[in-house]
Amino acid sequence: MGAEAGRRSVCSFARTVGRLRTLCLGLIVASLFEPGCDGFVFVLTSSPAITPVAATIGVGTAQVFIVQNVMVTRFVLTADVQNGTQCVAVDAAYAQANSIRLVARAACRSSVYVSAVSTGQSPLVATLTVQ
């Protein structure tokens, strides 16, 4: 009698857990389609990213930086020690949306920082070292 009662108790618990899981899943799905409180809308999207985050290239070579999941309005080049455009040049012939191609003209004394600026987002920053 004790074993049978224990088995029923376990089965009852499993059914309750299954119902709770179904209820939670339903609430999550419903929240994706309904606006939340005070105009907040929960949207599943990927975070903006720039790739590569860091690169090292030699003089005379090039590196392409690509930004995903956000529309870039402009790219800004900076460096700690010198103007970033002294050792790298933007390849004007490279015309791809959300990306920039940098050509190494000379060795840099410091890293060059590539900032991807977009509306309503913090800038995404990558670093380039020219040896």
Q: Is 64 found in the same domain as 27?
A: no
Q: Domain range spanning residue 80?
A: 49-130
Q: Which two tokens stand for residue 129?
A: 């070292």
Q: Is 71 found in the same domain as 22?
A: no
pLDDT band at 21 (very low <50, low <70, confident <90, very high): low
Output the domain CATH number for residue 120.
2.60.40.1080
Q: Is 115 found in the same domain as 68?
A: yes
Q: Is 66 found in the same domain as 25?
A: no
112 bridge partner residues: 79, 128
Cβ-based neighbours of 106, under 8 Å, separated by 6 or more: 59, 86, 87, 130
What rounded mean pLDDT belongs to the chain? 81
Q: Is 61 found in the same domain as 124?
A: yes
Judge whether residue 53 has pLDDT over 90. yes
Let me know if residue 97 belongs to a domain: yes
pTM: predicted TM-score of the whole model, two decimal places: 0.66
At 82-111, the pLDDT tens digits run: 666 689 999 999 999 999 999 999 998 889
- CA distance to 12, 20, 25, 26, per residue, from 17 (Å): 9, 5, 12, 14
Q: Could you tell me the end-to-end alpha-carbon distance of the chain, in angstroms, rounded to an integer?
A: 80
